Every structure is written in C-alpha cells, then in structure tokens.
Structure 1
Amino acid sequence: MRVHSIKLLFLFVLVSFISCDQKNDAGTAAVDYVISFPNAVHHEAEVSVTFSEVPSGIFAFRMSRTSPGRYALHEFAKNVYNVKATNGKGELLDITRPDPYQWVVESNDGTVNVSYTLFANRGGGTYAQVDETHAHLNIPATFMFAPSQANRPINVVFDVREDLNWKVATQLKKEGGNRFSAPDLQYFMDSPTEISNHQIRAFDVESNGKNYTINFVLHHNGTSAELDAYFEDVKAIVLQQKEVFGELPDFDFGEYFFLGCYIPNASGDGMEHRNSTILTTTRSLADGGAIGTVSHEFFHAWNVERIRPKSLEPFDFEEANMSGELWFAEGFTSYYTSLILCRADVRTVEQYINGLNGGFNYVWNSPGTQFFNPIEMSYQAPFVDAARSVDPVNRGNTFISYYTYGSVLGLALDLALRNEEGNLNLDDYMKLVWNTYGKEEIPYTIDNLHQALNTYAGKDFGDAFFNNYIYDSKMPDYQRLFASVGVALSQDGKTPYFGARVSSSHRISNEPTIGSPAYKAGLDSGDTILSVNGKKLDANTSFGSLLSTFKTDDEITLAINRHGNEKTLKVTLAKDPRYTIQPYEKVGLELTQGILDKRNAWLGRK
C-alpha cells in the first residue's frame, strides 16, 4: 500500500475541517480536494477528495478524457491507481468499474471519500508532471470528479513540499495559505497550477478604470537578470495586444498569470486558460525561452477564452471536442502571434516578413485544399491535436493545420481590408467581434463571424471572403496584397522538384505529395532508392546532391527496392513550387513613401 492508513486519516480529517462551512449561496456542500507529493522523486502525487451530500444509491466518479484547449482524447485515467473509497465513518466501500474512465460505489451514507495515487511525468499544457523540481498540474490530468456534482463549489489544498521551497501559482481564488477555491468544475478544470521554487515578475495595466496585475511566474534555472530582460518583452507584448482590442478582458480577481516552466525536464507546449496560461519549453532564457508562445497564448485571453466558439460551450470532459471555428480561434491567433512580436519590437520587420515563408508555403503548396476547406480542417482537430494512433495516415496530403491555414487567411484578410476605402484593418474587425460577442461572453458561430465582417467591411467584401476562402479553399491574390505593403512574392521556377522526402539512407520517408513527380511516377513511402540514371547511391552520395545536378523537365530513371524487390521507375522533374517572400528592399524594388506608410500602419507599434 502506497498511502498509509494514518496518512489517509489525516487527509480526510483535513478535508472535513476545511469543508465544514464551505457551501455556496444555495447551501450546497463543496467538493474538497487535498493533494500531496511525498514520493515526488518517483513522479507520484497522493490525492484525496471528499464528496458530500451524496444522494443514496449509485455514485460515479471519474477522470477526465479531455482538457480545455485540447480537442483530442487523452485518457487521463491511465495514470491513476491505488484507488480507494470510504464512507463518512471511514468504512471501505466496494468499487466497480463500468468502463475505463470511471469508478462506481453502489451505496453510501451521504459522504464518499476517495483517495488515489497519480503518476505524472509530462510537463506541458495537457498533462501533469511531479518530480523534485516541481508539481506542474493540469487539473483534468490530476483530479477525479463526479459529474453529478459538477455545479458545486470546489476547495483544494496543495500540501506543498516545504523542504523544496515550493510555492503555489494559479488563477484559482486564494483562500489563505495553500488553500484555493473555484466556483464550479468548469472553472476548476480550467485552472492549471504550478508549484515550484519559482520567480515572479508583475506589472499593473489600467483598463476601463480598473487596474489588472499581470504576473509572469517562471520556474527556470537562469538568472534574475535574464528574467528581468525577458519580462520587458512580455510587457511590450501585453500592451500591444491590448491595443488590438482596445482593452484588457475583465480578469477574475484582477489578475492574470503566465505560468512558465523553462526547464530541461519540461515538454514544449503552451495552453490558454481563462485568466492564465501554461508556457513550457526545454529552452532556457539564454536560448530565447518561448516568447512566441507568450504572444500566442495571451492573445487567447480574448480570442477563444471569451470570444468563444459556440461549439466549445460548455467544454466536454467526457468526449472529444470538435469545432469548425478553429481556423479563426487558433488560426487568427497564430497570425497575431508573430505580428505582435513585430509591433512590440521583439522581432524586426525583416524578421517578420522572412518568417512568413514557412507557413505560406506549407499551406499553399499542400494538396490538402483539394479535400477540406478551413472549417473542415478544423473538424480534424480530435485526430491531430496531440492525438495518438499507430496506423499510417495520409495527412501530409489531406491535412493543413488550422493554426497555419487560419494564420495565412488572417494575413490575407488584414491586407485586403487595408486596401479597401475607409482605413479598414483586421484589428478593428477583431474589436467588433470582441465588443459583439467576447466582452459579454456570447458564444459565436461561423455565420456570426461572416455577418460581423459584412457589417464591418460591407456585404460584398464579407461575402466574397467567406465564400471563396472559408466555405471554399481558394487562394487569395497575395501578389497584389503583398505589393501594397512593399513585400515581393516570387517563385524560382529553375530548381528541380521531386515531391517526396528522401532520408540519408535513401529511403522515401513520407507519402509523396499528390500531383508531384514522385507521386505520378508511382513512388511510395518506404521505397529505397538504389541508383539514379545508373549511378548507385551510397553513404557518400546523397539523393539531394544528385538531384541538384538536373534541371526542371528532365526525366530521370530510378532503381528502387520495394519490399525486397527491385523495380525501375522514370520520373519527370518539375519546377519547384515554393514561394519566396521578401521585403522590396532586398530584391531591388522601389519602396515609395506611400507603400512604406502602409507597411508601418500594418507592422508598426501601436
């Protein structure tokens, strides 16, 4: 037994003590949790929960299958063991398991005390991690809950490791000491908690006559001077994002928390929550940290947390969550991620423009637009959002990330608006959506976004954008749009294009791109190229170096090994479809004052 009976008794007495007068306005008893970390070195936490005023008969409690901000199933029950339940007298209750996700007791005396051990060793935005550096807790990955008590208030005591100098940082309401509360399950599940020997930097921002404290909590191995310098960039990002919407959200309890873990044992991630965000990376501050994640996740305080798709309300902890609006919720947020870094002078204008190349080519050179529009790409989230499967898929040909797809569409919409009469821009459209839906937290639909654009830019403009690029998957006229802000879009046309990745062992490592020379020739993932035009490939001869000696439209003969059999195929090389995006200054084009003014209005500090 991993939890001694005396420890269990102490936990239940403590829970009973803190819950005796904790009821909501209707007099409903709270759900009370205590979590401790005596075996942190082996990634274990001990959790107890008391469910009070439980009706007689069957009572079910469970682990979540999902997590706010994620759309796939994650099956957190897999990391729970040593589960026990007692009644109010401390008598053991029989537990049954109707499915992998929940536990059931068939009788009780109005109180059900549950205890269990949690194994936690992934420090990112979705899971939990416990070790001797910290207790990094994503709530759905940590705490059981009872669906029948989802509307009850919640109390939680974090029994921290004082020997490790741990402190608690969370958006939960502080009730004193290490005791915190939430009004209900939805809020509790949306409240990640970082417990560690962290550092904090904070500044106050005025908005609509109120002062809000923005806290940057960082668990890291760097210096205070590095954190001070980094925090200056964080402040600039916060203020530039406030300018987009004209105000901050009305953060609960007047505070917002960045919860950062920039440590070697973390996993790179970021996850937005109502009044906080998780930021995790293995990169130290000296290596740049995760400043792009800071920008992306804080923008979500408006776009997703309050400008909220109706399809995600309420968030379902028992099933996958699907939304057709992720091209806007995640994609437009991704557009602003880098744009804000430029406006905040964290990135230069040239760095920003050069940075457009990767995402632009990924989207517009993908055959995925043949199969799904941005709405349907968003529907794929439960299959791709950190989801796990073992069978091969053809996503390289059929899927484009709604993050990136939405980002390049946000770019097109912003530049298109700036070419309309009336000094239009995407910032003001986002303000309109914020004031119409986000500020009062009215969940929106795709049609709501469409009608809002019609209201802002006119019906002809709004209908054209949605009909061509959202309900369909056509490509905007980027050449014209970029030219208006002094950015050149070009294609080489001279470099030969093959259409499949070839590893250092000469093996084709992906499904060839639909329509590419490799695809048309009948090459397949797993094929090993033995020779090109009779020249054998070996450890000293790469396929890429040989390919560069040919020209577009050349026909080459490949000898390949497929499933142990040799085969000969002919491939006709094509023109490289990749685009290059550069500032006019870098390609010798004239940057007039009028064009420069437009660019500054787009990328300059607000």
Structure 2
Amino acid sequence: MILRFAGISSNKNGDSPRFINKKIRDLIGSKKTLLFKKVMINKPTLIALACTPFLSFAEVEYQLKIDQGAHHLGDVSITFPKSAQSHLDIQLPDWRTGRYEILNLANGVRLFNAEDQNGNVLEWNKVDKNTWRVHFDEPTEVNIDYQVYANELGLRARHIDDSHAFIDASGFFMFSDSFRQEPVSVELEVPKEWRSVSGMAFGDNKHSFVAKNYDILLDSPIETGINELRKFEVDGRQYELVIWGEGNYDVALMLRDLKKLVKTGSLIWDDYPYQRYVFMVHATSGARGATEHLNSTIIQRHRDSFAKRDDYVAFISTAAHEFIHTWNVKNYRPEGLVPYDYTDINYSNLLWLAEGSTSYLEDYLLLSAGITTNKEYFKGLTRTINRHLNTPGREIQSAAQTSFDKWINQGGDHGKNYSTNIYSEGALVSMALDIDLLVKSDGKVSYKDVHRELYKQHKLPNSFTSADVKAILKQLSGRDYSQWWAKHVDGPLNLDFDALLAQVGLEHVRPSSAKTVASMGATAKNRGEVLVLNHVAREGAAWAAGLTSGDKIVAVNKHHVRKSLNATLQRFSAGEKVEVEFIRRDKLMSTTLTLSLDHSKPKLVQPILTPSIMQAKLYKAWMGVAHPYQTTN
C-alpha cells in the first residue's frame, strides 16, 4: 500500500513523494499500528500530508531504464500494491488507442520475472499471449521486471534508439484490472543529456511523471531524448512543441500556425478540455502518420517533407486533425469504445464519425484560422472525392460497415475493390450531412452544431450511439434523419457531387484540357524490365480479361511494355481489342481485352464564378470564410 501526493515534488527538507511513499509503505506494511510504530517523518512532510489535495492508498509504480538504446532495449520494473488475492493477472495491451488494429505488442516482452515485497521469487505462468498470472500465498506487493524490444516506430507504440525513446504505455507498461483505476507514477532512467516531455504532469524530477490512473497513462505518451522544445501560451493555456530528428521544417512557421490553430476550438465547442497540450513531431526517414492522445499528439513525417507548401499543408492539416480529436474521441466517443478494452477488439459502427468527421472538420478550422486558402481546400477536396470515385469498394461497403470492420479490413488490391475506409468515406458522409443541414435551415444549423451537442450531452464517461446522433439531428433541425441515415450511412455512399456542391457555390468539372484516353482499368508499377499490376479495378477491362494484381505485363500487341502502361496505351482508342502478354507463376501467358474509356485528367472542385446570394451565404456558413467570388450586394 502506498500513499501518493499529487502535485508535490519535494518539501523544504527534500522529502519527495517517493521518499514519503517509502515511509508510509514501511508504516502500513508493519504489523504494528500507526500508534505504536515510530516512523521518522519530519514536520514539513506532515504539513504536506495535511495539505495534499488527493491521497490514495494504492499506487502502481513504473520504472523504465534505457542503457542499451542502440539495441532498442528497455528494462521495465513495476510495483503493484499489496493484493489479498491468490494471484494477480498482469497484461500488456493488444492494441493502442487511436489505431484500431490488433498489434500483438506482447511479442516484444522477454525476461519476465516476479518477486514479492521481500524479494522472494514468485511463480508465474502465461494464461494467453498477453497475460501473465503471478501466484502468491499471502498478501504482498508484487514486483515485476521484464525487458522490452522497442523498434516499431511506425506503429507509434514503442521505439528506442541511441538518440531517443518514444514511449506509448501500451507497448511498454503492463497493467492489472485490479489496479487500473489507481494512481500511477513513471520514473525514467535515461542518458543525462536527454529531455523528457509528456502530456502528463511531472513527478519529483524531470524524468518522472504522474497520472490519476492507467487509462490516462496509456493515453499520454512520453518523448524522451535529444530534441528541440518550444513553449507558448494562447488564451491562458500552455502548449509545447517538441521535435525529434533533423529536417527541413521551419519551427517559426510551425509555431505561428499552431498558435492560430489552437484558438479555433471555440468555433465548434464551448470549452477546452485541457490546460496544457503537447505537439510531438518525429522527423524521420521512414515512419509516417499520426495519433491523437488526451492532451497531446504524435505526428510522424519524412524529415524532408516540411518545406514545400504542399508538404507543409499536409503537416498542419495533420496537426489540425489530431487537435480536433481532443474533443471528438478523447472527450466523446461511440459506444463500444467506452471504456476501452485493451485486450480485445472494440467494435463500433461509428468510427466513420470518430475519424472521418475529424478529417472533414480540420479544413474548416484551417480555413477559418487563415492558415490555408480556399484554393488549397478545393485541391484537398478534389483528392478526397476522386479517391472515393476510384474505389470500387464504395459500391459494396457502407460507412457503418467499414467502421465495424476496421479491425479486419484489408488494404491492397482486394481492399480497394471490396472495401472503403473510415477516413475518406466518413469525411464525405460528414460533408453531405453538413450541407443538407445548412440548406434546409437557411444556413442556421450545421454539422458543427452536432459535434457541439455530442460534447455537451455525451461527454465521457458516457458514450453515444447512432440513435443518439439521430436524436441530436432532430433536436437541431426539427427533422427526422432516419431515412437519410439509412441511405448514406448504413448503405453504400452514392452521392451526386455536382448537385451537392452546387448548393454551396462549387462545381465538380473536368478541365477543358482533359482528353479522352484508352484504359485497361488497371495500374502498374515499374519493376525494371517489366510492369507489375498493383491494382485491377473490379469489373474493369483488365478484370474482365482475367488479369490480376501481381501479373507482370510483358507486351501489348507484341510490343514490349517497359516504363509506363499509360504511355503504351496512348496509341490505342477506347473500344479497341488488344492482346496482352504477361507472366504469372513464371509462365508466359496472354489474354485479349477491350480497352475502356478514361480521361487524362480527373474532375476538379472549383468555385462557381457567379454564385447566387444564397450560394455565397451557405458557403460562408459552411467553411467560415467568404466565397472566392462573392459579390458585395
């Protein structure tokens, strides 16, 4: 049993919480009572005891020692409070928050050992792949030690090298359900030149942190190492930007735009759920992606992908996405994800709202803040729509279905042909719903109001269902959205983008310079002297001819195809039949197919040159800025 003092680093006599905890542990662990046990706690310590805002008689203590960084190894020690059970089940999560995929993180654990509070070895056995059961005959603290191999930077779960460590608790720190809600402390033993940063509060030194429970620890990663740190304040809240790795980034530009970004939360929600927020950035040579956490985010980009404007917009858009998650997911999230089950799949048919709506809203914040332009928004929306239209799986899998199946959905050729994804599909559902609300309310009600109400009505520890969202829609609009929901959410999304976008003063048109071209309905990558098909569109020309991804295209009409499939097909017309020779299973084969019609350039989203007063009004209500061609009258 441990007594923990939140917010105390040390007193005048240097008694830290860890020092005090040891004394209290000695006291409570004794068979004698407080009255008869003489424990030397000085007067300032007793004053600290009396003034401490929260006291807990159970704490889980974590320690991580890193002295073999080059080999990606870390040594973990955990002290669990005294338990009166006959055994303690200790588990490592099977996935991490923000990534809906089973990761099998226990595969990095070795050298597991368990001891009682007196240093006696305890017996243990594995119950399943990520559960260790420790046995004991009498109540005792349980001390656990094990080694973790951490070389999975791209998973954003754990990484150690000679310059830093990224510590997501899911990849390092085991837990017991018996103590999941108890306070925790983390102590790092790292090279002296390293700096440690986290969304958690500091403990009693610059490499220690404290949290109210394991759930907060699990959603508060630590970046420790050789890094660049900048701090700033906006509207009384504290922010930090920590960057690991060299790159072509402009820190001053990042700080300028992050300051603008964090002010925009009030455009959607009534308050901020944090007083301190940390932006963590990895400038790397390989890892890509980002993950949201309670009051922090980790963003990974190639070290040379910051300077060009398109690259920078991608970075700041990611920052906006993760920032929005501070509300959407971290403070209100769908049923099935509350509370998190760290050892199993957490099913929900609303991940499209959790992720796709976040992708959709990021553009509103960036435009409203003046960080991006209308032109940049149209470019991104064009990309999202065309990706959707070029995904045959959109005709099969709905937003609700892809949400539920996120944990098992495949990527690659089959995934593109038969599945969708929660990000782009969810963004387009959100856009369609937003425009519908705006049009039918004369610009008075928007999808942003839906998220404001979700935050008000279903804040954690509550959750929400599809019925709850539909109830909010009816509350705001006075209309029943059940049929709309059945068509656009529960059924495959089939939008008329021309009609949809016209309502807010935009058009979806093919450039006049676009030409009609012949197509096989497939794409290929150059692999030296041959082209290898990497996508064959379902029901397309190549599909109908029996070609599949992985086939090596050798020749079309007896002419060797070397560098580009599209270049080869330029001399043919749609409707022509051609012979295609290819290699499959090391055997030369051939087939005949009829080329289909395609275009040299995709459709673009662009503003209507002469929008009506209503179109301009709805555009302003939609995106928070004036229509590019809005007139003054």
TM class, shorter-length? 0.7 to 0.9
Q: 1:562 aligns with which of 571, 584, 587?
A: 584
CA distance in 2, matches of 1:222, 1:562: 42
Deviations 1:561-601 (A, max 9, x none): 3334444422222232885123246xxx5445654454344
CA distance in 2, matches of 1:352, 1:313: 34
The match for 2:329 is 304
Cα drift, residue 222 of structure 1: 5.8
The match for 1:348 is 373
Cα drift, residue 441 of structure 1: 4.9
CA distance in 1, matches of 2:334, 2:495: 25
Conserved 8 A contact 1:95-1:104: yes
The match for 1:62 is 91
Give 3-state SS (helix, strand or coil) of 1:85's partner: strand
Deviations 1:231-270 (A, max 9, x none): 1111112222331224322x2xx21222222244x62221
Alpha-carbon spacing, 1:556–1:66, altered in 2? closer, same or farther (3 Å): same
CA distance in 2, matches of 1:493, 1:323: 43
Matched, 1:36 2:55: no
Alpha-carbon spacing, 1:155–1:139, altered in 2? closer, same or farther (3 Å): same
Conserved 8 A contact 1:240-1:605: no
Matched, 1:453 2:473: yes
The match for 2:354 is 329
Cα drift, residue 294 of structure 1: 0.5
Q: 2:111 aligns with which of 82, 86, 108?
A: 82
Alpha-carbon spacing, 1:281–1:17, altered in 2? closer, same or farther (3 Å): farther
CA distance in 2, matches of 1:384, 1:338: 27
Give 3-state SS (helix, strand or coil) of 1:519's partner: helix
**What is the 5 A alignment of 1:317-466?**
317-384=342-409, 394-423=414-443, 424-438=445-459, 441-460=461-480, 462-466=481-485
The TM-score, its normalising length taken from structure 1, stands at 0.86
CA distance in 1, matches of 2:155, 2:272: 23
Conserved 8 A contact 2:395-2:493: no
Deviations 1:32-79 (A, max 9, x none): 111121122222212111112122422222222111112211111111
Matched, 1:173 2:201: yes
Conserved 8 A contact 1:57-1:107: yes
CA distance in 1, matches of 2:564, 2:279: 46
Supply the RMSD in Å over aligned alpha carbons.
Answer: 2.9
Give 3-state SS (helix, strand or coil) of 1:270's partner: strand
Alpha-carbon spacing, 1:565–1:168, altered in 2? closer, same or farther (3 Å): closer
The match for 1:512 is 536
The match for 1:260 is 281
Alpha-carbon spacing, 1:414–1:27, altered in 2? closer, same or farther (3 Å): closer
The TM-score, its normalising length taken from structure 2, stands at 0.83
The match for 1:145 is 175
CA distance in 2, matches of 1:603, 1:305: 24
Matched, 1:469 2:488: yes
CA distance in 2, matches of 1:553, 1:20: 85
The match for 2:560 is 537
Cα drift, residue 330 of structure 1: 0.3
CA distance in 1, matches of 2:147, 2:453: 48
Conserved 8 A contact 1:509-1:525: yes
Q: Percent identity?
A: 24
**What is the 5 A alignment of 1:238-317?**
238-249=262-273, 251=274, 254-264=275-285, 267-283=287-303, 285-286=306-307, 288=311, 290-317=315-342
Alpha-carbon spacing, 1:366–1:176, altered in 2? closer, same or farther (3 Å): same
Give 3-state SS (helix, strand or coil) of 2:336's partner: helix
The match for 1:196 is 225
CA distance in 2, matches of 1:147, 1:115: 18
Give 3-state SS (helix, strand or coil) of 1:459's partner: coil
The unaligned stretches of length 5 or more in structure 1 are 1-13
Q: 1:71 aligns with which of 100, 110, 129?
A: 100
Alpha-carbon spacing, 1:498–1:113, altered in 2? closer, same or farther (3 Å): same
Deviations 1:537-572 (A, max 9, x none): 143x63221212223223323233333444442222
Conserved 8 A contact 1:482-1:488: yes
Higher mean C-alpha displacement, 179-188 vs 132-141: 179-188
CA distance in 2, matches of 1:93, 1:328: 47
Higher mean C-alpha displacement, 280-289 vs 449-458: 280-289
Conserved 8 A contact 2:180-2:214: yes
Higher RCO (CA < 8 A, seq sep 6+): 1
Give 3-state SS (helix, strand or coil) of 2:408's partner: helix
Amino acid corresponding to residue 468 of structure 1 in structure 2: K
The match for 2:520 is 498
Alpha-carbon spacing, 1:25–1:421, altered in 2? closer, same or farther (3 Å): closer
Higher mean C-alpha displacement, 300-309 vs 476-485: 476-485
Aligned residues: 571
Amino acid corresponding to residue 371 of structure 1 in structure 2: I
Q: 1:122 aligns with which of 152, 172, 181?
A: 152
Alpha-carbon spacing, 1:108–1:262, altered in 2? closer, same or farther (3 Å): farther
Give 3-state SS (helix, strand or coil) of 2:339's partner: coil
Amino acid corresponding to residue 181 of structure 2 in structure 1: N
CA distance in 2, matches of 1:316, 1:456: 33
Alpha-carbon spacing, 1:61–1:238, altered in 2? closer, same or farther (3 Å): same
Give 3-state SS (helix, strand or coil) of 1:396's partner: helix
Conserved 8 A contact 2:439-2:618: no
Amino acid corresponding to residue 499 of structure 2 in structure 1: R
The unaligned stretches of length 5 or more in structure 2 are 1-16, 29-52, 627-633
CA distance in 1, matches of 2:287, 2:582: 39
Q: 1:221 aligns with which of 246, 250, 275?
A: 246
The match for 1:4 is none
Alpha-carbon spacing, 1:160–1:542, altered in 2? closer, same or farther (3 Å): closer
CA distance in 1, matches of 2:623, 2:151: 41
Matched, 1:107 2:136: yes
Give 3-state SS (helix, strand or coil) of 1:308's partner: coil
Amino acid corresponding to residue 269 of structure 1 in structure 2: G
Conserved 8 A contact 2:553-2:561: no
Conserved 8 A contact 2:116-2:142: yes
Amino acid corresponding to residue 257 of structure 1 in structure 2: V
Give 3-state SS (helix, strand or coil) of 2:257's partner: helix
Conserved 8 A contact 2:504-2:618: yes
Amino acid corresponding to residue 480 of structure 1 in structure 2: A
Alpha-carbon spacing, 1:345–1:569, altered in 2? closer, same or farther (3 Å): same
Amino acid corresponding to residue 409 of structure 1 in structure 2: V
Give 3-state SS (helix, strand or coil) of 2:83's partner: coil
CA distance in 1, matches of 2:209, 2:22: 12
CA distance in 1, matches of 2:521, 2:68: 51
